[in-house]
């Protein structure tokens, strides 16, 4: 199919199947803002450390005072480039960690709102990681390592730039001579499986020439059949146009109804802490626990979404140990229970808030967010005479019997502490009368 540069035409393109089946991805916010790595701790955009340049210029923001106290009034944001060296960045080590986490795709910030690129962009001469700073093609190095490990590689790209003179003084020229050529270069150079745009909210998609670019991406680019895109293409497009819809720390934009059964593919993105970029001001209590991370993944997937969980590397190229630990913990759970996540579809809401359901064909997965005990009832399910009940990773058959509105399951005498995984307990119901509803 050939797509026209109109939303009516572009919205007919389905998000590629691989994205829906993947369920779990890693977001990476890394750039000059990783040097100061500071923001006030709390919920919302005011606590995003990657907004450091914007916030350091606002006398009413805590970052303004922090910057002057630590670096002085004469230290400008551009001076951070000499401290962004990425000398400990090992892309293969990163990709090995992502593989261990159970994630199926990775999205790196190729350029955030400060305009600094992590690849040798001709449109950002002397303001990219090859010309200055690390003198390395960070996008290229990570892309190769991620693809070599068998994962899908994607890029975040900010449409706007806070202080680019061309953006501020001649917007049309900025789009035509800077933004669109830059995005095309990113696609042609690295052939990503996903393009995750942002910074669209100041202008409508027509001004950004988004439909024109997407028509090129879907019709002519080398990734036209595989590439997935999000919904951030103009101030009117979130949860309305583009590819998959995006939520951020649970916030749904433009009033989209992303309840269970939402048929349009969506993705939740958030950090393990309150910030996307690394924030040295956060403490242990500001990070999600292992249990929190696993429950977020289960809840999101049970409602038809993907989870794009963010990490914020340090300026020298290390992934903070607590973030590594959380990713490995998620991976350990998925190594046992991945069949209840990957390639599944949402089923229906339970009347018990402690249960989430996913389905695959005639197999239903009942995922308890707490240990249900030796005997429990699953309401609203329809077993057949051939139904069997088991737990992934545990070679024990479980007895069950029908009830008035579902089935009663009896768990063998096994301690929860001796189960192959913790925090979320998967019961596999095979040969059910109904699968996805």
Same domain membership, residue 84 and residue 189? yes
- At 262 the pLDDT is 56
Overall number of domains in the chain:
2
Q: Which of 295, 319, 340 lies at the terminal end of a domain, its last residue?
A: 340
Model confidence over 281-305: pLDDT tens digits?
999 999 999 999 999 999 999 999 9
> Looking at the domain assignment, is residue 2 inside a domain?
no
Same domain membership, residue 269 and residue 235? yes
Least confident of 216-225, 230-239, 302-311, 408-417: 408-417
> Looking at the domain assignment, is residue 21 inside a domain?
yes
Q: Which domain holds residue 421?
A: 347-432
Same domain membership, residue 113 and residue 130? yes
In percent, how much of the chain has pLDDT > 90? 89
Same domain membership, residue 320 and residue 261? yes
- At 434 the pLDDT is 62
Place of tokens 């096994």: 414
Q: Is the pLDDT of residue 256 over 60?
A: no
| CATH classification of the domain holding 412 | 2.60.40.1180
Query: How many CB atoms are located within 10 Å of the residue 41 CB?
Result: 17
Place of tokens 């579902």: 406
Query: What is the CA angle 263-219-229, rounded to 5?
Result: 40
Q: Which of 312, 340, 368 lies at the terminal end of a domain, its last residue?
A: 340
Same domain membership, residue 204 and residue 73? yes
What residue ranges in 279-351 does DSSP mark as E strands? 305-311, 345-346
> Looking at the domain assignment, is residue 32 inside a domain?
yes
Q: Is the pLDDT of residue 58 over 60?
A: yes
Query: CA dist 196 to 178, 186, 306, 399, Å?
Result: 18, 12, 14, 47
> Looking at the domain assignment, is residue 437 inside a domain?
no
Query: CA dist 95 to 86, 118, 154, Å?
Result: 16, 17, 13
Of residues 313, 281, 272, the one with CA closest to residue 65: 281
Same domain membership, residue 203 and residue 54? yes
Residue 252: pLDDT band with limits 50, 70, 90 = low
Tokens of 437: 């509803």
> Looking at the domain assignment, is residue 79 inside a domain?
yes
> Looking at the domain assignment, is residue 1 inside a domain?
no
> Looking at the domain assignment, is residue 230 inside a domain?
yes
What residue ranges in 14-138 does DSSP mark as E strands? 24-28, 105-111
Q: Which of 280, 306, 340 lies at the terminal end of a domain, its last residue?
A: 340
Same domain membership, residue 357 and residue 220? no
Same domain membership, residue 129 and residue 54? yes
Same domain membership, residue 172 and residue 306? yes
- At 96 the pLDDT is 98
Same domain membership, residue 165 and residue 48? yes
| CATH classification of the domain holding 16 | 3.20.20.80
What is the C-alpha separation between 250 and 421, in angstroms, rounded? 26
Same domain membership, residue 100 and residue 83? yes
pTM recorded for the entire structure:
0.96
Model confidence over 347-394: pLDDT tens digits?
987 778 999 999 999 999 999 999 999 999 999 999 999 999 999 998
> Looking at the domain assignment, is residue 363 inside a domain?
yes
Same domain membership, residue 267 and residue 199? yes
């Amino acid at each position: 199919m050939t797509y026209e540069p109109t939303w009516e035409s572009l919205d007919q393109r389905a998000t590629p199947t691989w994205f829906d089946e993947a369920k779990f991805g890693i977001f990476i916010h890394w750039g000059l803002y990783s040097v100061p790595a500071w923001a006030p701790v709390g919920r919302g955009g005011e606590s995003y450390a990657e907004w450091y340049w914007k916030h350091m210029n606002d006398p009413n923001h805590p970052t303004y005072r922090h910057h002057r106290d630590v670096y002085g009034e004469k230290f400008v944001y551009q001076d951070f480039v000499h401290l962004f060296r990425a000398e400990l960045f090992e892309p293969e080590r990163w990709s090995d960690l992502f593989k261990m986490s159970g994630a199926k795709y990775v999205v790196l910030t190729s350029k955030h709102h400060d305009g600094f690129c992590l690849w040798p962009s001709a449109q950002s001469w002397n303001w990219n990681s090859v010309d200055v700073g690390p003198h390395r093609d960070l996008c290229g190095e990570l892309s190769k390592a991620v693809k070599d490990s068998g994962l899908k590689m994607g890029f975040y790209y900010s449409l706007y730039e806070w202080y680019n003179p061309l953006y501020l003084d001649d917007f049309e020229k900025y789009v035509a001579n800077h933004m669109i050529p830059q995005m095309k270069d990113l696609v042609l150079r690295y052939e990503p499986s996903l393009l995750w745009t942002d910074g669209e909210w100041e202008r409508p998609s027509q001004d950004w020439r988004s439909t024109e670019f997407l028509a090129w991406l879907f019709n002519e680019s080398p990734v036209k059949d595989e590439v997935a895109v999000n919904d951030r293409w103009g101030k009117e497009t979130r949860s309305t146009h583009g590819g998959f819809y995006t939520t951020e720390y649970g916030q749904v934009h433009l009033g989209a109804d992303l309840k269970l059964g939402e048929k349009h593919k969506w993705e939740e993105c958030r950090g393990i802490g309150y910030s996307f970029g690394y924030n040295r001001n956060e403490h242990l209590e500001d990070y999600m626990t292992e249990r929190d991370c696993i429950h977020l993944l289960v809840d999101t997937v049970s409602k038809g979404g993907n989870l794009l969980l963010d990490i914020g590397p340090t300026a020298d190229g290390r992934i903070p140990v607590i973030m590594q630990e959380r990713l490995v913990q998620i991976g350990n759970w998925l190594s046992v229970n991945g069949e209840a996540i990957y390639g599944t579809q949402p089923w229906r809401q339970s009347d018990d808030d402690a249960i989430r359901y996913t389905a695959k064909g005639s197999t239903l997965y009942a995922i308890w967010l707490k240990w249900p005990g030796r005997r429990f009832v699953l309401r609203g399910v329809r077993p057949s005479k051939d139904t069997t009940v088991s737990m992934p990773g545990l070679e024990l058959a479980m007895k069950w019997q029908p009830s008035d509105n579902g089935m009663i399951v009896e768990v063998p005498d096994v301690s929860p502490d001796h189960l192959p995984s913790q925090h979320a307990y998967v019961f596999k119901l095979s040969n059910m009368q109904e699968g996805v509803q």
